[in-house]
Each structure stands twice: as C-alpha cells, then as structure tokens.
Amino acid sequence: MRKILVVGAGQSGLQLALGLLSHGYEVTLMTNRTADEVRDGKVMSTQCMFASALQTERDLGLNFWEPQAPRIEGLGVSVAAPDGTRPIDWVGRLDGYAQSVDQRVKMAGWLKAFTERGGQLVIHGAAVSDLDYFAGRYDLVLVAAGKGELVGMFGRDAARSPYTSPQRALAVSYVHGLGPRPEHPDFHAVRCNLVPTVGELFVMPTLTTSGPADILFWEGVPGGPLDVFDGVNDPAEHLRTTLELMKQFVPWEYDRARGVELTDANATLAGRYTPVVRDAVGELPSGGLVLGVADVVVANDPITGQGSNNAAKCAASYLDSILARGDKPFDGEWMRATFERYWDYAGHVTKWTNAMLSPPPEHVLGLIGAGGQLQPVADRFANGFDDPSDFEEWFFEPERAQNYLASLSA
C-alpha cells in the first residue's frame, strides 16, 4: 500500500486525501487545527462552486450539505453609474446549479469524515524541517497549505504571473436578513456589481454554521474608496463600513441589506494578496521533492469566484494522475507533468481572471452591455464561470466577440 502525506486541510487537501483513501492508499493528513477549531474559527473565504466542481465532490460521496445549501441558479451583472443608477443590469441562467458552503462547515465535516474513513490525522503546523524529516517515509508528499513558510519552497513563475502586487483589497461579511432581489425573487443568483475604477461588490447565497445566509464581498481597487478595511478589527464596524459603501456605490443592493446582521462573531474577513503562479515542485534541504496543490501553485484573485472550483478540479486532476501512476515512482518529471495536466484547465481560469482585473477593453464593454439585450449572451457569460475555457471562443478577441454577436443577430 502506497503511503502519501498531504499537508493542508482546505478544499483541495481534504478532497484529495479523502479521494486517495477511497482508492486504498495509506494517507496521513497534517493540519494545524482540529475540526472543532475550524468550525468555531473565523470565516476563511468566499466560495461559490459551480456544477462541474460540485460533481467532483459528488463523485467521492462528499456532497454532505447539498440538500441544505441554497441552489444558485443564475449569475447577474450590474454596472453602476456615478449617479447611483444601473445602466446595465441582467441575469444569466446556469445550466446546472451552483452552491456555496462556508468552509468552516465543510472542512470541519470533511476532517471528521477523514478520520472515520481510516485516515491518519496529525494536528501540527508543518515547517520545511518537518517535511524534510517525513519525506523519506512517504512515497509522495503533497503541499496544499497555501500560506506560511511552506509556500516559500515554490518559486514564482514569472512567465505566468503578470502581477507583482495585490490587485484588490478584499472585505467579506456573512449576514442574515438580506432581502430578495426584486428582479428574480423566485430563484437564487450570485450578483456581480461592477463599479468602474472603484471595484466590485459580490452578493451570494451560502450555507453557514447557523443555516442559510448571504455573503457581502467587496473587492476594492488598492488606494481607492473601497480600500478602507485595513485595521478594522471590530466585526460590527466592518459591517457598518460595508453597508455605508453599499449605500454610496450600489444603492439597489443597500436597499435590501438595511436590516442585515452578522451571522456570528467570526463572520468577517479582510485582506489582500498578489495573484501568482508558482513552480509546482518544491525542493527540500535534503534534496527530496514535494508537489504543490491548488492555490499553493495557482493563486488567482477571487474576482471570478474560481478559488474553490480550482481547488476541487486540481484535487480531481491530481487524483487521476496518482492513480494512473500505479507503482512507479513519483519523481520530479511526473510531478511537473501532473501539474501541467491541471494547468491545461487552470491556465484558462488565470487568463480570464487576470483580464477581469484590468479596465475592460471596448469589445468587452460591448459584450457586457449586450447581456442586457440578448439573453444568450447573459447565459453564456454565466456558464463561463463553470467552464472558463469557453471564454477563449468569444470573449478575449474583438473579432471573435463581433462574430459571436453577429451570429446571434442573424
């Protein structure tokens, strides 16, 4: 029986560890928090997982919360004007529903499932020296902890990383009491509110520790009017600031958020990070090699909501590559090939996400505007969140965009 060590217990690390267990591998999972500490801690992210990413969980029998989580059936876009109106406002329907489950709920549940299914759980904050000690005792070491000392083993891939600083300041609030969106009161949708030159507000239904809720998520251009959450440590002040900015920039969202309350004392999060792609293989002081997983090696800005989707699809791709390897050694050549197989998907996500961080070119503005006039454009844009590779066919190049719109008009 091959022995594998997974370091990090987020979406990718836990999903991959549980997948390996289901195929008979001896799996050790190392993380710095217990299930109870995760569930009782601060929110860790926003997340909206689309149909194909959700399917990777179903394939492993890990969709524990699917009956309880709100079904997200659409994705809407609004563009704010300086006078507080919405010259553009539409919603596209998803072919398959999406869902969001608070990672405190999911990771705590999956940690318990891991031990119940026979995995060995080690509660320890791993350092490079720990991995150096353990590497010789396992056939493969996978690093899925996207923060801290371990990330330093994976060098920045300059050719795939156009940014050297954070592109957005991030601020998250989980709330109860958000009113329905009057344009579609009969179904749930993620709403993307674009405020040109200022940033974006995302609103999405979720399932949290206290039941169904909503996430209010500001992404602010650094140095701009939304970049005001650094040093705001009081959750109540964080929410007040969130609502004041909504009132100023997206009053239609503020109107349904007047009475919201935080879901719990740990329901806010703020920060920023630099989007980056890293080398997939890290070398230990002893010369041993480890393979980076998900956002350890591909960390995109959350503006396109792909973090958990990438993590799930990376876990599924790596699992397939490990199973196909059989009894052969997990050497550096195999590690790099395994990452490149995943990059065939993640590269599309990275290209699209980086494009959305920049001021949109004229043809993209035309496509976003067309979503309000042509429902197929709105629907295709929405479903691109599930399959970002489709944007290659109609979104990036002006000529392709023009041909696509012309085909709809015809």
Q: Which phi and psi (to 5°) does residue 142 adopt? A: -115, 130
What average pLDDT does the segment 321-340 reach? Answer: 98
What average pLDDT does the segment 108-124 reach? Answer: 97
- Kindly tell me if the per-residue pLDDT of 410 is higher than 80: no
pLDDT band at 337 (very low <50, low <70, confident <90, very high): very high
Structure tokens at 299: 């960390």
Please, which residues have CB within 8 angstroms of residue 313's CB and are 6 or more apart in sequence? Answer: 52, 53, 56, 342, 345, 346
**Domains present along the chain, CATH in parentheses:** 3-44+103-163+275-356 (3.50.50.60), 72-100+165-271 (3.30.9.40), 360-409 (no CATH)
What average pLDDT does the segment 16-39 reach? Answer: 97
What average pLDDT does the segment 316-338 reach? Answer: 98
pLDDT confidence of residue 91: 97
Edge-to-edge, what's the strand order for the sheet holding 26-31? 120-123, 26-31, 3-7, 140-143, 289-292, 281-283
- Kindly tell me if the per-residue pLDDT of 8 is higher than 80: yes
Q: What is the pTM of this model?
A: 0.97
- Kindly tell me if the per-residue pLDDT of 185 is higher than 90: no
Out of 26-35, 133-142, 198-207, which region has the weakest mean confidence (pLDDT)? 133-142
- Kindly tell me if the per-residue pLDDT of 303 is higher than 90: yes
pLDDT confidence of residue 134: 87
What average pLDDT does the segment 45-49 reach? Answer: 96
Task: State pLDDT tens for residues 346-391.
Answer: 999 999 999 999 999 999 999 999 999 999 999 999 999 999 999 9
What average pLDDT does the segment 14-19 reach? Answer: 98
Structure tokens at 253: 């969202």
Q: Are 271 and 166 in contact (CB under 8 A)?
A: no
pLDDT confidence of residue 146: 72
CA-CA distances (angstroms) from residue 307 to 81, 242, 313? 29, 22, 10
Task: State pLDDT tens for residues 131-153.
Answer: 999 888 999 999 999 778 899 99
